[in-house]
């Protein structure tokens, strides 16, 4: 795909490495899709109906006249048909085609398929086409202008979970055909045009987040693999009759960029123009996507694709989505849409917002100018769509596309704009192996974590962009760029700013773009490769959605004089702004070559002046373009003398910024303020840079010798002149606070040191385990609260979990030593093993991102994780629990049918006699559903876990011998109360008849019990007379005693003796207990009672 994008003109040294037509994964981690499954693209469409070339023109005209209606949820309506496994394996004749279901495959392709298929809704296109066609028709008849195809999981990446990669083209082609047929039928009946939109979902993998806790740079799929997968999907959709392509439910913008890349390549290769609609998903009230981007950054990242319409869908209801839709509407310079869920999921996993109320909200959106199109996502039906259409019928659109000035807009997780009122932008330079010896040593030593700390220091020191460069003959530049960009993409404090991918090798920069979801700055391209390849490079950079730095080079070499700089830049500007490329002028940055002065060669003395003059002239002749440069070159003559070098840089910028320079690669935080530079040094720097004194070089050299002597004296004196490093304020706090701070901020530099200090403090922490249960778990709980409140987002939680893992890893040997010592003292004790947790996404569900995060966080806390993956049958899950001797089972699911499957697993676990706790988690799960539907089906604890960070606390409580009984009892009691509240709140109750009730009576088959009753130790009557009272006292259960006194501690201080530690009732409980013990002693001593028993 990439070779095609370059029109197969790339050099042999780079071209073959990047062509992934066989599904080859450069990570070596994802089983590649066999090449037999991939299409051989010929550039010719095989479409059953003509392409409508006027769709975009018609849509733009209609957007100006009325509100466009998009359909509602496909999955919600499919659930109404109550389909079972056999329906997903059925064979159906449709449209007089007896081979509709299996196409070119074998007739028994599904009936004999070994993998379970229920839940693969896309497959119903082939096995139940009449249902899918009927759903489309119902939506069109309800008033939808646009219906999306049943292809949300229509790539081989997603279908691999069902082992149906080979059916991808059939699924997409026939899904589009079913939708298009319904559109044509309703259009003919009503006289109003209807359109088929190809749904392109995000897949079940993410390019921006690592699924491995121990390797943040790891990815289980590559950008190019996704491009290939999406391109094959597009071919089926377009051949099948799609009029529009919907890239939707975007939780990771990098995945969406792969889809948009594939669309761009496809449309060029097949010479077809299909309008694009882009739809993101804001996952919670933080206003960010799952991969951490803000709404504005999301738009900046996809704007290059020039979508007909952009909007938001899924995850939130109208009330929750409105503020984020407002922000998108304000920044997007195209039409906007929204198709929210029917409210938030209720306790049972359903959606409660009825058509009338939802229509009212969306009508207000249209009236307030937020949207040009509306529709529905999860929980919506044709009734909702009819209500929407009725609500806005005849309404003139209130929204007008904002006319924002054409400024450079870049982004990481957050937006960054350069406009006429912007301050000068610092590009952090320290992540460059050519410019930083420390950074290079870390890369060579494979210490990627410390290398990332350099990047974070640059951001904290004021860098607004981050330059990343791995140009070194002994390094694999592509591999290093990919690893480092993947790593910093998971560090929110780094990747919040845009990245400058920097290399003299084009492919190395491309590797960086394929790892970063934001809008990057590509550094660089130039005319030194000739006009033809220069244009192709520029087109490809544009296709990736990046801005570009153009070096002032041409076929003759580097521009040194002002005249050459201006000439080359003007030539390059005209080429890429013109029709051959169409680059936005404001996304072009010219590096005019900051060259070294004070070399002793007279011809170099004017380099500073030439740059400053060229800056002003290039800005004049290349409207919109920006000016940049690498500052370190200027002072290269004085390497090792940072005082002089930084002064030169500051003086150079002072004069050049006044001429219009926009940005430069600098050591952020090290530049002195112009007025703070020693006056003598400042004047010498100005003489040299402005070439206003013929003796400036000699004077600078004299100053350099003095500085070198001063540094040598300091070194000889043991560094007495070095500034002492002042510890950060938080480092002076108590160790408990320092550990919590490290967790909250994701700082691992001191965590081992602080953990060891805590371990040695036996007054605070008698055992290493108490450190984990104390400050470390308190920190994780706080993180859970912040994450739930939208004040932290996913990458930060992962980062904190890694800090937790480092602390636990330090404590583990000491805990193991304690266990061994205890065994030596008492060999009867059994060595405790780390808790083993089996986690799985239940049958019918292929979503696993949340489950993977839970695995990461629990793994960081020293638990052994057995991840069964997705689409796990009940039998597979329970068999694994037995085989692995699991301590806890974790069930995950995202879609509503998963809730029923979790109930099934709980029932079967009870039948098999499992005695381990079950954790319930996932987007549609809730504590209420767990309490009402799942917990009653199992005899042991079933606990709903709100998010990944909470899982640590829950599992710890469930496995702690001293806590588990109280925790389980508390949870069970809470769930009983919730069930009672739920049933009491039901507006309508359905009672069984007397006979139905009797039929449900319990029947015990005594004869066929799997185990025989235990034989009693004796038969008959045995009496106990005058048993010593002192013998009975140790067996007293004190919990009923406290209950009678209405004293009830809160977890974990609920039962005896922990109740004495309870903040509310502990003191009173101890008082009445002491009175009771005193009374008991009196009774026993005076033999006031006689104990007899039978």
Please write the tens of the pLDDT for every residue from 524-549. Answer: 999 999 999 999 999 999 999 999 99
- Top-confidence range, 6-10, 224-228, 790-794: 224-228
pLDDT of the residue at 796: 54
Calculate the alpha carbon distances from 533 to 6, 308, 527, 528, 751 in Å: 8, 30, 8, 9, 50
pLDDT of the residue at 986: 63
CA 739-742-745 angle, to 5 degrees, is 150
Instruction: With CA atoms as reference, report the closest residue to 151 among 139, 137, 169.
Output: 169
pLDDT of the residue at 832: 55
**Cβ within 8 Å of residue 1034, ≥6 positions away:** none
Checking if the pLDDT of 221 tops 90, the result is yes
Per-residue pLDDT band for 234 (boundaries 50, 70, 90) equals: very high
Q: How many CB atoms lie within 10 A of CB 738?
A: 22
Checking if the pLDDT of 726 tops 90, the result is no
Which helix or strand (DSSP H or E) is residue 813 part of?
helix 794-825
Checking if the pLDDT of 737 tops 50, the result is yes
Query: Which tens digit of pLDDT belongs to each residue from 950-984?
Result: 788 899 889 988 888 888 888 998 899 888 887 87
pLDDT of the residue at 787: 60
Checking if the pLDDT of 445 tops 80, the result is yes
Which helix or strand (DSSP H or E) is residue 1047 part of?
none
Q: Give a three-class secondary structure readout of 96-121.
A: CECCCCCCCCCCCCCCCCCCCCCCCH
Least reliable range by pLDDT among 317-331, 566-580, 1036-1050, 1064-1078: 1036-1050
Checking if the pLDDT of 37 tops 80, the result is no
Q: How far apart are CA 866 and CA 887, in angstroms?
A: 11
pLDDT of the residue at 182: 98
pLDDT of the residue at 1056: 84
- Average pLDDT rounded to a whole number, residues 896-907: 86
Instruction: With CA atoms as reference, report the closest residue to 775 among 799, 798, 802, 751.
Output: 751
- Average pLDDT rounded to a whole number, residues 793-813: 73
- Is pTM, for the whole model, over 0.75? yes
- Evaluate the CA torsion angle 967, 968, 974, 978 in order and state its sign: positive
pLDDT of the residue at 662: 95
pLDDT of the residue at 31: 45
pLDDT of the residue at 56: 97
Pairing of strands 836-841, 864-867: parallel
**Cβ within 8 Å of residue 1092, ≥6 positions away:** 1023, 1024, 1025, 1026, 1027
Cα atoms found within 13 Å of the Cα of residue 1008, Cβ hemisphere only: 3
Give me the chain's average pLDDT, please. Answer: 88
Three-state SS for 499?
Answer: strand
Checking if the pLDDT of 988 tops 80, the result is no
> Considering the chain, what percentage of its residues have pLDDT values greater than 90?
61
Per-residue pLDDT band for 792 (boundaries 50, 70, 90) equals: low
Classify residue 1023 by burial, with Cβ atoms within 10 Å: 0-12, 13-18, 19+: exposed
> Considering the chain, what percentage of its residues have pLDDT values greater than 70?
91
pLDDT of the residue at 860: 66
Q: Answer yes or no: are the C-beta atoms of 819 and 832 closer than 8 Å.
A: yes
pLDDT of the residue at 795: 45
**Phi (first) and psi of residue 74, to 5 degrees:** -80, -45
CA 570 vs. chain centroid, Å, equals 41
Per-residue pLDDT band for 27 (boundaries 50, 70, 90) equals: very low
pLDDT of the residue at 1012: 73
Query: Which tens digit of pLDDT belongs to each residue from 561-572?
Result: 999 999 999 999
pLDDT of the residue at 632: 86
pLDDT of the residue at 754: 94
Per-residue pLDDT band for 682 (boundaries 50, 70, 90) equals: very high
pLDDT higher for 988 or 621?
621
- Average pLDDT rounded to a whole number, residues 54-74: 97
Number of H helices, E strands in the chain: 40, 27
Three-state SS for 224?
Answer: helix
Per-residue pLDDT band for 853 (boundaries 50, 70, 90) equals: low
CA 590-592-596 angle, to 5 degrees, is 150
Angle (deg, nearest 10), helices 735-745 and 794-825: 140
- Average pLDDT rounded to a whole number, residues 44-73: 96
Please report where in the chains the tokens 């319990």 appear, as a residue. Answer: 1002
Q: How far apart are CA 142 and CA 354, in angstroms?
A: 15
Q: How far apart are CA 343 and CA 360, in angstroms?
A: 13
Query: Which tens digit of pLDDT belongs to each residue from 152-183?
Result: 999 999 999 999 999 999 999 999 999 999 99
Angle (deg, nearest 10), helices 751-760 and 735-745: 150
Positions marked active-site:
845, 847, 898
Q: How many residues does the chain have?
A: 1094
pLDDT of the residue at 670: 75
Read out DSSP for 180-200?
A: HHHHHHHHHHHSS--EEEEEE
- Average pLDDT rounded to a whole number, residues 762-780: 84
Checking if the pLDDT of 1022 tops 70, the result is yes
pLDDT of the residue at 809: 85
**Cβ within 8 Å of residue 380, ≥6 positions away:** 72, 73, 76, 339, 341, 342, 351, 358
- Evaluate the CA torsion angle 337, 340, 342, 343 in order and state its sign: negative
Helix residue ranges, H only, 555-603 = 562-577
Classify residue 626 by burial, with Cβ atoms within 10 Å: 0-12, 13-18, 19+: buried
């Amino acid at each position: 795909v990439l070779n095609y994008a370059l029109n197969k003109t790339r050099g042999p040294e780079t071209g073959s490495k990047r062509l992934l037509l066989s599904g080859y994964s450069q990570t070596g981690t994802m089983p590649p899709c066999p090449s037999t499954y991939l299409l051989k693209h010929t550039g010719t469409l095989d479409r059953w109906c003509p392409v409508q070339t006027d769709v975009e023109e018609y849509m733009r005209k209609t957007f100006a006249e009325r509100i466009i209606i998009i359909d509602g949820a496909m999955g919600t309506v499919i659930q109404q048909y109550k389909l079972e496994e056999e329906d997903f394996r059925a064979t159906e004749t449709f449209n007089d085609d007896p081979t509709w279901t299996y196409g070119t495959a074998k007739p028994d392709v599904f009936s004999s398929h070994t993998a379970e298929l229920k839940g693969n809704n896309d497959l119903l296109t082939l096995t139940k086409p009449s249902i899918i066609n009927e759903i489309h028709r119902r939506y069109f008849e309800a008033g939808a202008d646009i219906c999306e195809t049943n292809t949300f999981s229509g790539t081989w990446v997603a279908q691999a979970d069902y082992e149906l990669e080979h059916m991808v083209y059939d699924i997409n082609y026939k899904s589009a055909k079913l939708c298009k047929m319904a559109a044509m039928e309703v259009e003919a009946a009503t006289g109003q045009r209807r359109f088929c939109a190809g749904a392109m979902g995000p897949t079940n993998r993410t390019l921006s987040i690592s699924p491995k806790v121990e390797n943040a740079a790891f990815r289980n799929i590559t950008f190019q693999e996704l491009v290939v997968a999406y391109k094959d999907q597009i071919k089926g959709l377009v051949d099948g009759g799609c009029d529009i392509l919907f890239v939707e439910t975007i939780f990771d913008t990098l995945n969406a960029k792969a889809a948009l890349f594939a669309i761009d390549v496809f449309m060029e290769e097949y010479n077809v123009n299909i309008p694009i609609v882009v739809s993101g998903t804001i996952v919670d009230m933080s206003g960010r996507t799952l991969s951490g981007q803000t709404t504005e950054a999301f738009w900046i990242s996809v704007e290059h694709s020039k979508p007909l319409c952009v909007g938001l869908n899924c995850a939130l209801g109208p009330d929750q989505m409105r503020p984020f839709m407002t922000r998108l509407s304000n920044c997007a310079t195209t039409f906007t849409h929204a198709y929210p869920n029917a409210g938030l999921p209720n306790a049972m996993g359903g959606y409660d917002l009825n058509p009338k109320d939802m229509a009212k909200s969306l009508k207000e959106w249209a009236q307030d100018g937020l949207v040009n199109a509306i529709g529905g996502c999860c929980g919506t039906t044709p009734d909702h769509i009819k209500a929407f259409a009725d609500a806005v019928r005849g309404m003139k659109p209130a929204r007008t596309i904002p006319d924002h000035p054409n400024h450079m807009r870049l982004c990481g997780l957050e937006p960054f704009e350069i406009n006429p009122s912007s301050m000068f932008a610092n590009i952090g330079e320290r992540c460059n192996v050519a410019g930083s010896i420390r950074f290079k040593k870390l890369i060579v030593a494979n210490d990627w974590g410390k290398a990332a700390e350099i990047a974070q220091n640059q951001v904290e020191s004021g860098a607004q962009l981050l330059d990343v460069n791995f140009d070194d003959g002994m390094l694999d530049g592509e591999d290093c760029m990919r690893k480092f960009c993947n790593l910093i993409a998971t560090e929110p404090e780094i990747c919040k700013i845009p990245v400058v991918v920097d290399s003299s090798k084009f492919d190395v920069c491309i590797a960086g773009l394929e790892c970063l979801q934001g809008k990057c700055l590509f550094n660089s391209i130039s005319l030194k490769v000739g006009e033809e390849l220069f244009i192709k490079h520029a087109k490809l950079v544009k296709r990736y959605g990046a801005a570009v730095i153009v070096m002032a080079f041409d076929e003759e070499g580097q521009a040194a004089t002002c005249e050459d700089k201006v000439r080359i830049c003007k030539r390059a500007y005209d080429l890429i702004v013109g029709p051959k490329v169409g680059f936005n002028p404001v996304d072009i940055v010219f590096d005019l070559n900051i060259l070294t002065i004070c070399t002793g060669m007279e011809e170099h003395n004017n380099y500073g002046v030439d740059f400053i003059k060229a800056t002003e002239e290039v800005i004049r002749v290349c409207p919109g373009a920006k000016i940049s440069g690498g500052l370190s070159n200027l002072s290269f003559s004085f390497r090792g003398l940072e005082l002089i070098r930084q002064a030169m840089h500051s003086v150079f910028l002072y004069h050049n910024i006044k001429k219009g320079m926009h940005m430069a690669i600098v050591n952020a935080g090290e530049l002195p303020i112009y007025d703070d530079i020693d006056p003598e040094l400042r004047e010498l720097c100005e003489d040299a840079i402005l070439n206003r004194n013929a003796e400036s070089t000699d004077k600078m050299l004299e100053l350099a010798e003095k500085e070198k002597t001063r540094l040598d004296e300091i070194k000889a004196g043991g560094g007495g002149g070095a500034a002492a490093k002042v510890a950060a304020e938080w480092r002076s706090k108590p160790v408990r606070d320092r550990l919590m701070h490290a967790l909250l901020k994701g700082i691992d530099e001191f965590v081992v040191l602080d953990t060891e200090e805590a371990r040695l403090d036996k007054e605070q922490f008698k055992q290493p385990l108490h450190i984990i249960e104390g400050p470390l778990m308190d920190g994780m709980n706080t993180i859970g609260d912040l994450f739930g409140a939208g004040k932290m987002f996913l990458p930060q939680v992962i980062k904190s979990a890694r800090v937790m893992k480092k602390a636990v890893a330090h404590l583990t040997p000491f805990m193991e030593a304690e266990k061994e010592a205890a065994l030596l003292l008492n060999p009867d004790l059994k060595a405790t093993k780390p808790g083993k947790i089996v986690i799985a996404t239940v049958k019918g569900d292929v979503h696993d991102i949340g489950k993977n995060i839970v695995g990461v966080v629990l793994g960081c806390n020293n638990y052994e994780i057995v991840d069964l993956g997705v689409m796990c049958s009940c039998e597979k899950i329970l068999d694994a629990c037995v085989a692995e001797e699991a301590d806890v089972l974790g069930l995950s699911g995202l879609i509503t049918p998963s809730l029923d499957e979790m109930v099934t697993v709980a029932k079967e676990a009870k039948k098999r006699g499992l005695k381990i706790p079950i954790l319930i988690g996932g987007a549609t799960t809730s504590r209420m559903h767990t309490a009402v539907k799942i917990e009653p089906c199992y005899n042991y604890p079933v606990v709903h876990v709100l998010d990944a960070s909470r899982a640590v606390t829950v599992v710890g409580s469930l496995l702690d011998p001293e806590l588990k009984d109280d925790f389980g009892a508390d949870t069970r009691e809470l769930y009983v109360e919730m069930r009672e509240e739920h049933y009491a709140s039901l507006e309508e109750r359905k009672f069984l008849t007397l006979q139905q009730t009797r039929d449900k009576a319990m029947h015990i088959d005594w004869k066929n019990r799997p185990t025989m009753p235990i034989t009693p130790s004796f038969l008959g009557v045995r009496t106990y007379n005058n048993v010593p009272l002192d013998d009975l006292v140790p067996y007293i259960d004190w919990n009923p005693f406290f209950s009678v006194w209405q004293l009830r501690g809160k977890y974990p201080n609920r039962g005896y003796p922990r109740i004495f530690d309870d903040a509310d009732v502990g003191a009173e409980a101890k008082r009445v207990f002491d009175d009771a013990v005193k009374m008991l002693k009196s009774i026993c001593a005076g033999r006031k009672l006689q104990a007899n028993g039978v």
